[in-house]
Amino acid sequence: MIKHAHLSETETRKLIKNAAICWGGNVRLKIYGTLRCRSGKRMKKENRIFFVSENEALKNGYRPCAHCLPDRYYTWKTMDLFSNDTDKNRNLLPKDGVVNYYGRLLLPAEADHYLEKLLHHINWRHDEAIIFGKRIITDRKVAWYGDREFEYTYSKTTKTAHSWTPELLELKKLVETASNETFNSCLLNLYHNGNEGMAWHSDGEKDLKKNGAIASLSFGAERKFAFKHKKSKETVSLVLQHGSLLIMKDETQTHWLHRLPKTKFVKKPRVNLTFRTITS
C-alpha cells in the first residue's frame, strides 16, 4: 500500500508502468477500484492510495467499487447481507419469541475435531417414539447427557441422561459463555444424511424450564432449519453451518414449531446438540 500523496507524478507513472501499482483506493471511504475508474479519478490526491494487488486492498478492509467493479461489488454486497444474518443480536422471529443465530462459534478445524469426537465417543441409539399409539424406531440416532441421571420424557418415551463427556463439557462451557445462559443437559441428534430429519415440533415438554433458552450447536453437513408460527403459519428459515450456534428463547416454544427438513442433496452426516435446562 502506498499513498499517492507520498509520490511525485514521475514516480507514480513509473510504478504503474512496472506494475508495482495496479489498483487504486479511497482511504476515507475504504473503497478500491481500477486505475481507470472515473469516480476514482475524481477523488482528491490526499485521499488516494495504491495497491499492488486486489488481495492487498481486500486484506486491508477495502471493498470493491460499484462503478468499475460491479460484479465484485454485488458479491461483496450479498456477502454482507449474509453476515447480517449472523448478527447475534438480531431476532429472526417477527413476533412471539426470540431466535438468535450466532453463526460459526468455532473455526472449521475446531469444528472438525469436535465432529469426529462426537461421531465416535457418544453413546448413540436409534430414537423411539410412540406416534398414534404405534412404536416407531427412527433412522436418526439420539443421545442424552446431563449434570446427573435426569429422566426425560418426550414423544412418550423416557430416557435417562449419561454424565458429560470431556468434549460435551467443553462445548457446554463455550455455549454458556457465548449466550450468557446456563444449561444442565443436552439432547444430541445424529442425522446420517439428508434422508433423515426432524418433523415439525416444539420443545415445550413439561420437564423443561418454562421459556428457558435452548442452545443448538451444529456440526457437519449444513442443513436448512425452519420455524412456523402455530397460528399465523408464517415461516422463517436459515442454514445452520458447521460449528454454528442458534439460541431459541422466551416464548418461542409456545408459539412456534421448528423442523429440520429432509433433503436429497445432503449426503454427509450432521450432529446437532441442543443444550437445555431440566427442572424436574
How many angstroms separate the CA atoms of 32 and 26, rounded?
Answer: 6
For residue 4, the minimal CB distance to Fe ion (Å) is 57
Contact between 126 and 139 under an 8 Å Cβ cutoff? The reply is yes
Maximum Cα–Cα distance across the chain: 86
* Binder of ligand AKG out of 146, 221, 258, 269 (CB under 6 A): 258
Residue count, binding to ligand AKG (CB under 6 A): 10
Start-to-end CA distance of the chain, whole Å, equals 62
* Binder of ligand AKG out of 31, 49, 187, 221 (CB under 6 A): 187
For residue 152, the minimal CB distance to Fe ion (Å) is 13
Contact between 258 and 165 under an 8 Å Cβ cutoff? The reply is no
User: Considering only 57-65, 100-108, 195-203, 219-227, which stretch makes contact with Fe ion by CB under 5 A?
Assistant: 195-203
**Touching Fe ion, residues 7-66 (CB under 5 A):** none
How many angstroms separate the CA atoms of 275 and 253, rounded?
Answer: 15
The yes or no reply on residue 145 touching ligand AKG (CB under 6 A) is no
* Binder of ligand AKG out of 65, 122, 260, 266 (CB under 6 A): 260
Amino acid in position 87: D
* Binder of Fe ion out of 147, 176, 203, 250 (CB under 5 A): 203
For residue 189, the minimal CB distance to ligand AKG (Å) is 5
How many angstroms separate the CA atoms of 57 and 33, rounded?
Answer: 9
User: Considering only 7-15, 92-100, 140-148, 199-207, which stretch makes contact with Fe ion by CB under 5 A?
Assistant: 199-207
Strands (E), 27-79: 31-34, 48-51, 63-64
All residues at 6 or more sequence positions from 79 whose CB lies less than 8 Å from its CB, including other chains: none
Residues in contact with Fe ion by CB under 5 A are: 203
Residues in contact with ligand AKG by CB under 6 A are: 187, 189, 198, 203, 216, 225, 258, 260, 272, 274
